[in-house]
Amino acid sequence: MRLKKMSHSIVWLLAVLFLMVGATGAQAAPVEKKAVVLAVFGTSHESGLPGILNIRAQVEKELPGIPVRLAFTSNIIRRIWQERRKDPAYAGQHQEVPAEIINVKGPLATISDLQDEGYAYIIVQPTHISSGEEFADLAAYVQALNSIKTVKKRNMPFKKILLGRPALGTHGIEYEYRRDIEQVAALLAPDVEMAKKAGRSLVYFAHGNEHYSTGVYLEFEQVMRRRYPGVTIHVTMVEGFPDNARLFDELAVDKTKKVLLKPFMTVAGDHAKNDMAGSEPDSLKSQLEKRGFDVAVSLVGLGESDGFAAIFARHAKDAMTDEGI
């Protein structure tokens, strides 16, 4: 009987030790680090930075504990900041500019830094408005990096690089881009109210591109008109269609002579200040005034709105959820 009790005790003790070892092993499992690369076109205008910094703040708020690094996709804008970095007086004269902006890198260099720091999952979240040329280039970077295969699995540079959606969505069956358009439109009620109170047509000025379809902007315009029937709403852009020629034709049909121009861009930078609202004869504002329009301007980037900035945080979360992380 004593031997039987001892054997039971030994079995019980071994079972407890096994569970303890299992629990210790589970606790000791390495944590796979995650980070977000916020891929922004960028701006050389200090006054345009609040839109970018607010997007980063909203992503950090929605993804606590996950570091968020900024990267500028525009080679030209990065070179401007590189030149400023060489000027020892610049930082002192512009203390409102964070060091992360002065030392900003491109997406590839930023991903490389994170890989060197041991991050297993990197979520590249674009802050582009639409799925155009720049987004396609970014997607190509991510696809190429994910194609790396090492001889030994443990030598892989990372587990995976994920790619989030731009504001107006992209192709695919997981997330209908029309819903993304609707979500953006729902956030723009303050713009519509501003135009309505002033008795003006609302004209959004986007960047666009010449190499990919910009039809999503026409869909966005349609969604806005249906959601806000009390105000005439138009979309035009720097490159692609709908363009300024179409805008002038539509304004003539509307018989309106008062418009409110607002950038449909994450930042109110060079394009907003010069192409849209500049004093040069070829700016949209100048062309409208030449045609007899009373033009008001709102130089506020979409990224300065907390609601709009949070879109990119949700899209990054979606990419992580899809990957099971």
Residues 256 and 132 in one domain: no
Q: In whole angstroms, what is the distance from residue 190 CA to residue 209 CA?
A: 27
Strand ranges (E), the chain: 33-40, 68-72, 119-126, 160-163, 201-206, 233-237, 258-263, 294-297
Residues 145 and 195 in one domain: no
Identify the pLDDT of residue 309. Answer: 96
Residues 199 and 85 in one domain: no
Residues 149 and 224 in one domain: no
Q: Is the pTM of this model over 0.85?
A: yes
| Whether 301 contacts 87, CB under 8 Å | no
Q: In whole angstroms, what is the distance from residue 243 CA to residue 260 CA?
A: 17
Identify the pLDDT of residue 211. Answer: 85
Nearest to 37 by CA among 99, 117, 126: 126
Residues 240 and 104 in one domain: no
In a domain, 95, yes or no: yes
Cα atoms in the 13 Å half-sphere on the side-chain side of 56: 21
pLDDT digits (tens, 9 = 90+) for 242-266: 999 999 999 999 888 999 999 999 9
Residues 169 and 44 in one domain: yes
Identify the pLDDT of residue 10. Answer: 52
Identify the pLDDT of residue 54. Answer: 96
In a domain, 18, yes or no: no
Q: In whole angstroms, what is the distance from residue 293 CA to residue 257 CA?
A: 5
Identify the pLDDT of residue 24. Answer: 46
Task: Report the CATH number at residue 258.
Answer: 3.40.50.1400
Identify the pLDDT of residue 32. Answer: 85
Q: In whole angstroms, what is the distance from residue 124 CA to residue 121 CA?
A: 10
In a domain, 16, yes or no: no
Residues 153 and 292 in one domain: no
Identify the pLDDT of residue 131. Answer: 93
Residues 80 and 163 in one domain: yes
In a domain, 23, yes or no: no
Identify the pLDDT of residue 12. Answer: 54
Distances (CA, A) of 322 to 74, 282, 316: 28, 45, 10
Q: Running DSSP on this structure, what letter comes out for residue 234?
A: E
Q: How many domains does the chain have?
A: 2
Strand pairing category for 68-72 and 119-126? unpaired
In a domain, 3, yes or no: no
Low-confidence ranges of the chain (pLDDT < 50): 3, 6, 11, 13-29
Residues 101 and 239 in one domain: no
Give the SS3 label for residue 322. Answer: helix
pLDDT digits (tens, 9 = 90+) for 187-212: 999 999 999 999 999 999 999 988 88
In a domain, 13, yes or no: no
Identify the pLDDT of residue 172. Answer: 86
Identify the pLDDT of residue 255. Answer: 83
Residues 193 and 296 in one domain: yes
Residues 90 and 107 in one domain: yes
Identify the pLDDT of residue 30. Answer: 53
Q: Which domain holds residue 294?
A: 188-302
In a domain, 19, yes or no: no
Q: Is the peptide bond before 107 cis (omega within 30 degrees of 0)?
A: no
Residues 298 and 310 in one domain: no
Token pair for 130: 């639409």
Give the SS3 label for residue 310. Answer: helix
Identify the pLDDT of residue 17. Answer: 43
In a domain, 9, yes or no: no
